[in-house]
Amino acid sequence: MEPEKFREFMKKGAVVCVQLTPFKEDEDVDYEGLRDNTTWLVEESKGEPLVLVPVGSTGEKYALSDEEWKKVVRTVVDAANGKVPIMPGASHSGTRVAIERAKYAQDIGADGIMVVLPYYHVPEEEGLYLHYKRICDAIDIGVMPYNNPDVSKIYMKPHLLKRLVDNANNIVAVKENTPFIPTLYEHIKTVGDKVPIMQGRGEWWFAATAFLGVKGYISGYANFMPKICFDLLRAGLNGDFKGLKKIIEEKLDPYEEFIAKMCKKYGPSTTILPYPYVSSYMIYAVMKTTMDMLGLKGEHMRLPLLDLKEEDKKELEKIVFEKLGLNKVK
């Protein structure tokens, strides 16, 4: 998909599913499981505005070797077979390495790439701008900057994002992860007329900020409950705030309360980031366990992240089948 067409697709509204990477008990990647998950999700979402993002943060991209990263991306591109846009995470702190990944994604048929802010060393503003500008200039497919201070300890402010959008013609959307709503709104007012701003913090935050003009959201839950995710998207885009409230309260609140309970149980977190930034990533283990319960391939985490213990699965099972109302995959 050409960047201009991709940008227009995103402007109409989309659920951007960040895919989980299934690991076997020995922590090897389950490529066949990933292929099956992708095929199911594409078919289950037929006709809906879905974008797939393998090897993002949710896909534990930092825990993959270069060869594993390539094979995961190729597996998803092949399994989707052009039916939905694919936008793998092609992030790296080093600009040259990020460009190599971006070119690989383009060469095997991806429609775009997602690029998180460079982490580890803190670049100056000019360095941050040039990081993205050179990645954009190196490829002909779409780019979605991932403005996430949770994982990078830096942040791209609206004026710098505007400079990038004004000077790179293949930016198709921005995944915005700030927990500060006035800052989110400033981004929308600054660049939202040119590129869509996607709510990067998931379902609850999309429901809370849909009225501001976000054009969709990034979802881990779409890995296993895409229909609920698309219902939420439509409600938000149509200004159906009663519908949003109903989905959040009746479906998602019980699930997210369980996640919060697990984060507290398995803590304390080692983060030094202040509230309300992420304090625990047990959410990924909960989502993988949910997929297993439904007959998909969630499987295991890779260290240093932890799996959910058996003692916690019974409570989760009740929520999945009774509160979310999900059915096992046939």
**Does 136 have pLDDT greater than 90?**
yes
Which residue among the candidates 104, 129, 146, 185 is catalytic per the annotation?
146
**Does 50 have pLDDT greater than 80?**
yes
Return the pLDDT at 272.
80
Q: Is the overall model pTM greater than 0.95, yes or no? A: yes
Instruction: State pLDDT tens for residues 90-111.
Output: 999 999 999 999 999 999 999 9
Return the pLDDT at 267.
82
Is 318 an active-site residue? no
Q: Is 29 left (phi over 0), alpha (psi -120 to 50) or beta?
A: beta
Closest CA to 28 of 79, 78, 74, 68: 68
Residue range 3-238, CATH number:
3.20.20.70
Is 153 an active-site residue? no
Return the pLDDT at 318.
97
| Close Cβ partners of 40 (under 8 Å, ≥ 6 residues apart) | 296, 329
Closest CA to 270 of 260, 261, 280: 280
**Does 268 have pLDDT greater than 90?**
no
The DSSP annotation for 137-182 comes to HH-SSEEEEEE-HHHHS----HHHHHHHHHH-TTB--EEE--S-HH
Q: Which position has the token pair 């399994």? A: 79
Which residue among the candidates 175, 215, 288, 297 is catalytic per the annotation?
175
Return the pLDDT at 275.
78
Closest CA to 22 of 310, 307, 266, 226: 307
β-bridge partners, 23:
29, 300
Q: Which position has the token pair 């995944």? A: 175
